[in-house]
Amino acid sequence: MLDEKKFEFDIASIKRELEIEDMHITEEDVNLLKRYMDDEINMPELIEIIKNQPIG
């Protein structure tokens, strides 16, 4: 099971680092990572979902 507090801290840290590079993650991105961390999807499924998302 996911440690929600640690996950939220890690996501906040990642968001700050990405914003420095002018990259932003959405709530949808966070939910996708949560699904992966909760073993709802595996790495190949995660990659396939990301590949099929529109850019921009």
pLDDT digits (tens, 9 = 90+) for 4-41: 666 666 777 877 888 888 877 888 888 888 899 899 99
Q: Give the pLDDT of residue 4.
A: 65
Q: Cβ–Cβ contacts within 10 Å for residue 28, how many?
A: 9
Q: Cβ–Cβ contacts within 10 Å for residue 56, how many?
A: 3
The label of the residue with tokens 């992966």 reads 36
pTM equals 0.60
Q: Give the pLDDT of residue 44.
A: 94
Q: Give the pLDDT of residue 43.
A: 93
Q: Give the pLDDT of residue 2.
A: 55
Rounded mean pLDDT of 45-56?
85
